[in-house]
Structure 1
Amino acid sequence: MSTEGRRIAKVAALVAGGAVVGAGLGLLFAPQSGAETRRTIGRYAKRAQIQAMRFGRAVKSGVTEAVERGKHLIQKRDQKPVVEAA
């Protein structure tokens, strides 16, 4: 992964982490009963789980596509005739 790609991944992880922490704090300080808060947290956790699975599938798909492109480029390179000087 390039340096820019790593930077983008770090920013995305920080944003996602901040969203989770912010949502958690918002739920803890909300004027609700404990049962309502637990139910809300459970729903939020289920949605976060679904989103994480979707994100994981998208990442896996992207990695698979990149690997296939790399394999294709290597095959293309290997098929080119090599001309050597006499």
Structure 2
Amino acid sequence: MLVVELAFTPTPERLATRPAHRETLARLHADGELAAAGPWADDDGALLVFAVNRGRLEELLDADPYYRRTPGVEVRSVRAWTPVVGVLQPF
């Protein structure tokens, strides 16, 4: 699994692009390529957990303009993650 950490600034472009981005996330989750995603509570960034290899992740990041071409969104890190136990459902 790969974890992507994003940093946000409150630009109008980011907020305008967010609905389409979230639709993409829902599709990736339904397809089994995204395990979990969501913003930090203070909305200064987000964490996404992908169940794909690095090559596929790069394809996904390139296909969604939110990650690399939307002002106010910065990919801070991409790290491999080895979970020990399952992911909880949101409450």
Q: Which has the higher contact order (CA 8 A, sep 6+)?
A: 2
The structure with the larger Rg is 1
TM > 0.5 between the two?
no
Q: Hey, which of these two has a bigger chunk of helix by percent?
A: 1
With normalisation by structure 1, the TM-score equals 0.32
With normalisation by structure 2, the TM-score equals 0.30
Q: Hey, which of these two has a bigger chunk of strand by percent?
A: 2
